[in-house]
Amino acid sequence: MSPDLAFLVEVVVGGLLSGVMYALVAIGFVLIYKTSGVLNFAQGAMVLFAALTFVSLIERGLPFPAALAATLAVMVVVGLTIERAVLRPLVNQPPITLFMATLGVAYVIEGAAQLAWGTQVHALDLGIDDTPFDVAGVLVSRFDLFAAALAGLMVALLTLFFRFTRTGLAFRAVAEDPLAALNAGLRLPRIWSAVWIASGIVALVAGLLWGARLGVQFSLSLVVLKALPVLVLGGFDSIAGAIVAGLIVGAAEKLAEVYLGPFIGGGIEGWIAYVAALAFLLIKPSGLFGQRSVERV
């Protein structure tokens, strides 16, 4: 393989693997939006809280499995508390009210995390070597491959859950038509609770992987900025869309930065994904895989 081609492949592979990490965060948004129509701005804060709780427990001497189980329990409680204390009392309020409520929740979680665990930064070692290996002149990160495999596993589990379990089918029914689901006897509050718990678990997985990548510190909550163009592109209510859009955004922003950046000043990675997402929005407002809303008038 020529050096230029190897470099191109490396850029694309690196971008795709980064895209998987973006998709991991985006899936947390999708789960909530799909079943309750709420854009959960607190997802980034939940990612931070999960990672900070886990690393703080490890630093206090808990073994890895115990810390993981305890953090899982904490995230279940966090998810349930948000749903019960904030969103359930606001049922039937306009979407903007619900969005603002999650914005408030994000600040409360960040403040609570600092109160509980302090303001220091932490290293998070998941025991996965991050030295690259060479495949025909292309360096591939072991850690990123592991993260991609874990994300793939999580998507597979979620797909099985949605297809073959009663609760999963109920999720889909609620996502399709909440009123019809209610008429059919589904208990919406229970489903909302379950989906917030699931979102807390996704936040834990994303928090561990992103925490190992960036270190556990308060800017971890900013990873949501990477998930937003993915959501716009993939659709807010499609897990498959989040994955595919994550891959597209990851590869596109890396290619743009490396090949286009030098001609227009560099540092374009931060906004080029939004440009792509906005352009796509003009063509297909519901995103790649999002459901187009059709209303009878």
What is the footprint of other proteins within residues 228-257 (CB under 8 A)?
A: 253-254, 257
**Residue 283 has which token pair?**
């063509």
| 3-state SS class at 184 | coil
Among 110-118, 147-155, 230-238, 276-284, which window interacts with other proteins (CB under 8 A)?
A: 110-118
Say how far apart CA 198 and CA 219 lie, in whole Å.
23
**Sign of the alpha-carbon torsion through 83, 84, 86, 91:** positive
What six digits make up the tokens of 63?
């073994």
Q: Which of residues 13-32 bind other proteins (CB under 8 A)?
A: 14-15, 18
Which range, of 36-44, 72-80, 128-136, 232-240, touches other proteins by CB under 8 A? Answer: 128-136
Position 285 contacts other proteins (CB under 8 A): no
> Judged by CB under 8 A, does residue 167 bind other proteins?
no
User: Per-residue x/- marks for other proteins, 40-69, CB under 8 A?
Assistant: ------------------------------
Nearest to 20 by CA among 201, 247, 222: 247
CA dist., res. 233 & res. 47, Å (int): 22
Closest by Cα among 171, 191, 193, 199 to 42: 199
Q: Which of 193, 220, 226, 190 is nearest to 204 (CA)?
A: 220
In the complex, the smallest distance separating the C-beta of residue 97 from other proteins, rounded to whole angstroms, is 26
Of 77, 112, 123, 157, the residue at the interface with other proteins (CB under 8 A) is: 123
Q: Which is nearer to other proteins, 79 or 211 (CB)?
A: 211
> Considering only CA atoms, which of 287, 295, 16 is closest in space to residue 147?
16
Task: Enumerate binding residues for other proteins (CB under 8 A).
Answer: 7, 10-11, 14-15, 18, 111, 114, 118-125, 130-132, 139, 141, 143-144, 213-220, 222-223, 226, 253-254, 257-258, 261, 265-271
